[in-house]
Amino acid sequence: PPDVEVLGRSAWTVLHSIAANYPEAPSRSQQSDLTGFVSLFSKLYPCWVCAEDFRAYLGREVPRVTSRDEFGKWLCGAHNDVNRKLGKPEFDCSRWEERWRTGWKD
Ligand code: FAD
């Protein structure tokens, strides 16, 4: 199986980039596509302990897919849950779009 860290960095890049490109006002079918994607991702992610914990997270915190910002913040929360588990610093979710879409402003 692939290296858990390399896989993780790549996977988060794909997931946050999907959030960054998700519509601000998604249609019903776009919302159901995203819900389905997250659910399938949690079954197919090839780090099985990671996937199991991610499925448990999905059970506690239902994915919010009603807008780009809702999903981006939800995903940031999911990533922070893993950060906490691994003893990594938590990310400020008010800045997720700067990191993944617009670029840092300072
Ligand atoms: P990563 O955590 O990969 O983050 C990459 C970049 O994302 C960071 O440099 C930062 O700029 C940005 N970032 C950090 N936090 C956030 C946030 N909350 N919101 C937005 N952007 C952020 N590894 C394990 O060892 N055990 C596990 O159980 C596990 N579960 C995982 C579950 C999932 C669904 C995924 C996708 C990955 C999982 N991983 C797990 C991998 C782990 O999360 C990291 O990807 C890996 O440890 C590499 O960490 P990193 O320090 O390079 O940064």
Nearest residue CA, atom 4 of ligand 1? 9
78, 32 in Cβ contact below 8 A? no
The CA distance from 69 to 16, in Å, is 11
What pLDDT does residue 1 have?
Answer: 60
Digit-coded pLDDT (tens) for 42-80: 999 999 999 999 999 999 999 999 999 999 999 999 999
Greatest pairwise CA separation for the chain in angstroms: 40
ipTM above 0.90, yes or no: yes
Q: What is the pTM of this model?
A: 0.97
Expressed in angstroms and rounded, the spacing between residue 30 Cα and the centre of ligand 1 is 25
The answer, yes or no, to whether residue 106 has pLDDT greater than 70, is no
Give me the mean pLDDT over the 20-43 stretch.
98
Nearest residue CA, atom 16 of ligand 1? 91
> Mean pLDDT score of the chain, rounded to an integer?
96
